Chain A
């Protein structure tokens, strides 16, 4: 018996979500007294750091796969061959495309977006866009889990995993990837993975004023985000839009300047570990959801924060 993590690879290394899935699989396996294995497709540098997350083996399929149906066939075959009692993937674009297909193939119950390890046959996930949690139990013998980004840490032991070739019949690809654009500007961590986020809203008055937001983000090593109206009117790119209808994030730090804190905005950010709000209006609803607040003008406060951050971060 085993727990199987399915891991996506980029430039020879697992993605952050992949390392989180492997760490989750390893912890879950350890609690059951069984071993964890990871499945990858395509070239990987050594064990890609997967051994450090606690998996004992890395199963490597020889070619990279982008087609979700092929991936699911591969993962289901690996799960069956290694008698997996659970299959774990990241709850990002990768896991969302593949894990449900694996669940169907294995007739396994799936819990999406888990935030903790299963206990007593039940596992916790967020529901109602972070406004509540649900403990969900699976009634099938095999379970599939997708792990919420930034909810479960990455384990880092000194172990090395053994890489083994794994082959299976995966059928033909029906989707072809014809191009790739990097969405985020100059080396920023992609928003769904970012641990530090600096975000701004309509209070910034116009796109020409975003320099002070970017400066603070740069000083902290953070990724930039924005409220919906700001991306709707084209001040900022769509992929920066967080909230109910945009991206949901869960960083360690979320700094919001000139954002009122409408409930639909909060739905995308209220799981951040620490929230800082900067707003001229002391009655702005966002302060109720914040850990730290500054009542003040973003145009004055942000440059001062940048200076202080630069000093501290060296």
Chain B
């Protein structure tokens, strides 16, 4: 099994969100980056589990500049075999998907696993774009994934429930909660990650969307406190004031 896992970096979930350059760019000063949680906890760990079971290799692929190297080393420490970084600043999903598809084309990956979405762009679109560009089947928001004799068996979110799907390899899938449990890298993993290959590839790309402006949501008004002995007051306010029920 030759598996490709697309991992992106995202600001640590506790980061202060602020903007610069006339509110056109994210203010990265002082921001700690992590592996996008869906990519790490679910896609990467499941890929490693599948490799442990069926043999093969796990390669990670990241579109991003050198700032991404620490999170790539973390993925190697968790258990990926090698990594590719396409040295382009990601700004648009079509651009990112095209760069990934170009790199993966002809490399005969059996499985391309992505996270469900990035927690900064919240697009949830790159994986399906990769699938379309490479003319591969795609399963979105998969919560389980088993490989059985060239056949992938997955469970995915669906209207009002979950669907079981079967697809023959190769395929692209995006991983949601349930697919694997988080793995903490151990000392041996961290040491060996330093010498695993991280190949940097240069490429050019085009974008089809631009962010004109970022805005922060309006501040919440003060929380209205209600006496614990008068919960009926809350129910009344929810109906008459908030018009929520």
Q: Please list the residues of chain A having a beta carbon within 8 angstroms of any beta carbon in chain B.
A: 8, 10, 15, 66-69, 72, 91-94, 96-101, 103-105, 107-113, 122, 125-140, 146, 174-184, 190, 196, 220, 238-239, 241, 244-246, 248, 252-253, 263-264, 267, 273-274, 276-277, 287-297, 300-301, 304-305, 308-309, 311-313
The contact of A176 among B17, B162, B165, B224, by CB within 8 Å, is B165
CA distance A138 to B210 in the complex (A): 7
> Pick the contact of B122 from A107, A125, A277 — CB < 8 Å?
A125
B67 within 8 A of A: no
Interface contact B131-A126, CB-CB below 8 Å: no
Seed contacts A177-B165, A294-B231; 11 additional CB < 8 Å A-B pairs: A69-B138, A93-B157, A94-B159, A100-B129, A110-B208, A127-B121, A133-B216, A139-B210, A176-B165, A287-B223, A297-B228
Distance in angstroms from B219 CB to nearest chain A CB is 10
Whether B208 contacts A136 by the Cβ 8 Å rule is no
Per the CB 8 Å criterion, the residue count for chain B at the interface is 81
Q: Are B163 and A174 in contact (CB under 8 A)?
A: no
Instruction: Bits for B225-245, please: 1 = Cβ < 8 Å to A, else 0.
Output: 111100110111111001011
B168 at the interface (CB under 8 A from A): yes
Which residues in B have their C-beta under 8 angstroms from that of A304? 231-232
* Chain A residues, CB < 8 A from B158: 93, 180
Would you call B22 an interface residue if the criterion is a C-beta within 8 Å of the partner chain's C-beta atoms?
no
Which residue numbers of B lie inside 8 Å of A, CB to CB?
11, 13-14, 17, 19, 37-38, 41, 92-94, 97, 119-129, 131-133, 135, 137-141, 143, 153, 156-168, 171, 174, 177-178, 207-217, 220-221, 223-228, 231-232, 234-239, 242, 244-245
User: Is the CB–CB distance between B213 and A128 below 8 Å?
Assistant: no
Measured CB to CB, the closest approach of chain B to A181, in angstroms, equals 5
Neighbour of A305 across the interface among B164, B208, B231, CB < 8 A = B231
